[in-house]
């Protein structure tokens, strides 16, 4: 199970000591406060925000009050919550990003064909971030939507994206991110994880068997440009009790591979790459 506060902390600490004179600490703090809210913890106190983000309580309070004045947050007098206006920030990305626009109908197509949940994600810092999703049913204990974040090392899409990194960047990731066991099946040894990523690179897809959550299997493929650059990943998730690993490769993987090829062609038309 993915803990809400653990998710929120990933990549939220503002670079207070950034040497760049153009860096706006106040903006970084405000964004870290926004990212502290999750589906599991939609209502937070000032103390909660300060603990999750690492900000002083006074700074957390000022950020929250500013968000309230701008209409992005609300309060019941003790706890704070995000308001619907915050969706405009995410919509700005989705409406201007051809990648999400291109992948959304393809994901719907794959999901309808296999009758399983299908998603697309990109690598953001040390996590995968969902940019498109078609869910046939809820198969995880935590709800996933566009904007959801999950650790890259134990998810099929994350492994596809990590496997595409240059060697130096991958080594930096492995030394920076200590893998934690979500289940007894989670690969946590750095050497074993690197070997698995090499296997993913050789096979061209990743199949993760109950490493993020027991009872959940997932298979993913990379989304490439015409030049071969991996820009995203697409996966299908299914309940382990219903679909075996070999069945995922035979029955689900070909649908993903066809969609990935179609996405490559559409990206060329949209971006000329």
Expressed in percent and rounded to 5, the helix, strand and coil fractions of the chain are 45, 20, 35
pLDDT value of residue 162: 97
CB 25 within 8 A of CB 61: no
pLDDT digits (tens, 9 = 90+) for 89-145: 766 655 555 788 888 899 999 999 999 999 999 998 899 999 889 887 655 555 678
CB 208 within 8 A of CB 154: yes
CATH 1.10.10.10 residue window(s) in the chain: 4-88
User: How is residue 88 annotated by DSSP?
Assistant: H
Q: How far is residue 9's CA from residue 32's CA, in Å, rounded to a whole number?
A: 8
pLDDT digits (tens, 9 = 90+) for 70-100: 999 999 989 999 998 887 776 665 555 578 8
The domain made up of 4-88 has a fold known as Arc Repressor Mutant, subunit A (1.10.10)
Within 10 angstroms of residue 168's Cβ, the number of other Cβ atoms is 8
pLDDT value of residue 85: 86
CATH 3.30.450.40 residue window(s) in the chain: 97-271
Q: How far is residue 263's CA from residue 270's CA, in Å, rounded to a whole number?
A: 10
pLDDT value of residue 91: 62
- Mark the ranges of the chain whose per-residue pLDDT is less than 70: 1-19, 90-97, 137-143, 269-273
Alpha helix (H) residue ranges in the chain: 4-9, 25-36, 46-53, 57-69, 87-96, 98-114, 156-163, 167-176, 190-203, 245-247, 253-271
CB 133 within 8 A of CB 107: yes
The domain made up of 97-271 has a fold known as Beta-Lactamase (3.30.450)
């Amino acid at each position: 199970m993915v803990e809400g506060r653990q998710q929120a902390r990933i990549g939220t600490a503002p670079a207070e000591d950034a040497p760049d004179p153009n860096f706006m600490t106040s903006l970084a703090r405000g964004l870290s406060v926004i990212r502290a809210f999750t589906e599991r913890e939609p209502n937070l106190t000032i103390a909660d925000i300060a603990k999750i983000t690492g900000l002083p309580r006074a700074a957390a309070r000022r950020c929250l009050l500013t968000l309230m004045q701008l209409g992005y947050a609300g309060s019941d007098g003790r706890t704070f919550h995000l308001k619907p206006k915050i969706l405009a920030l995410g919509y700005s990305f989705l409406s201007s990003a051809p990648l999400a626009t291109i992948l959304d109908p393809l994901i719907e197509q794959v999901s309808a064909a296999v009758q399983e949940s299908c998603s697309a994600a990109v690598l953001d810092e040390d996590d995968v971030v969902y940019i498109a999703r078609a869910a046939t049913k809820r198969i995880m204990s935590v709800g996933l939507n566009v904007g959801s974040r999950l650790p890259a090392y134990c998810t099929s899409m994350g492994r596809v994206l990590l496997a595409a990194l240059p060697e130096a960047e991958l080594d930096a990731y492995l030394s920076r991110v200590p893998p934690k066991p979500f289940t007894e099946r989670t690969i946590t040894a750095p050497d074993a994880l690197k070997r698995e990523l090499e296997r993913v690179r050789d096979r061209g897809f990743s199949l993760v068997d109950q490493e993020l959550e027991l009872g959940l299997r997932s298979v993913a493929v990379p989304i490439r440009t015409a030049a071969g650059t991996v820009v995203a990943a697409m996966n299908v998730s299914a309940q382990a009790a219903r679909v075996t690993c070999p069945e995922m490769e035979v029955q689900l993987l070909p649908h993903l591979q066809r969609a990935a090829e179609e996405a490559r062609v559409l990206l060329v038309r949209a971006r000329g790459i």
